[in-house]
Amino acid sequence: FFSNLDDSPSSVIIYLHGGAWIYGNNAIPVGMEPILEAFNDKGYTIISLSYELLSDNIDISKPISDVKDLVRWIYKNKEIYNFDTDDIGILGVSSGAHLGMMASYSNEEDFIGDIELSKYPSKVSYVIDAFGPTELNNLDFNFLNSDLISSKKISLNDVNSINLINSVYSPLSYISDNSPKTLIIHSKE
């Protein structure tokens, strides 16, 4: 991560890459570098997460818990790294935006990963959603097998299963008065 250089507590931006949940890594894309460097120049700490990619053994709840674990890690280590836990934001692109919204909107007891970190908060101040899906019932999951979506072994051809996916893994299902501020960026141009 890129860190703040002065003595004041540093605001934190977590960057989450896209890649349809199955591709990508935490390398900052060329198009995002100027944006994140501008925040870093203003004193923000930038952390880019390599979350678990979906595979035959990893369902979609794991990368969500990876994001929540990182937020909790920031709270745990705020004194060591001088993080301002009152100003943590998430900037996600595509599937990374989906994971960021899921981690930010869901309750503290949802999507627990590391049990040791679960005693720390997963609250963020804001989310920037760049092209991320907020409701999964409109997505074509034919490129995934059901093991990737849920350990419940649900069928992607079954309307009830699609409704379950939408209710459990769509950020819109978790919106509440406690949800962080969110900027949604969608455009064709």
* Tens digits of residue pLDDT in 117-136: 999 999 999 999 999 988 87
Rounded-to-integer distance, Cα 137 and Cα 134, Å: 9
Block residue for tokens 């949800």 = 179
Q: How far apart are the first and last CA of the chain?
A: 31
pTM confidence score: 0.86
Confidence at 21, pLDDT banded by 50, 70, 90: confident
Q: What is the pLDDT of residue 158?
A: 53
> Which residues are within 8 A (CB) of 112 and not within 5 positions of it... i.e. 6 or more apart?
65, 68, 118
Coil, strand or helix: which one is 3?
A: coil
CA distance 120 to 149: 27
Percent of the chain topping pLDDT 70:
81
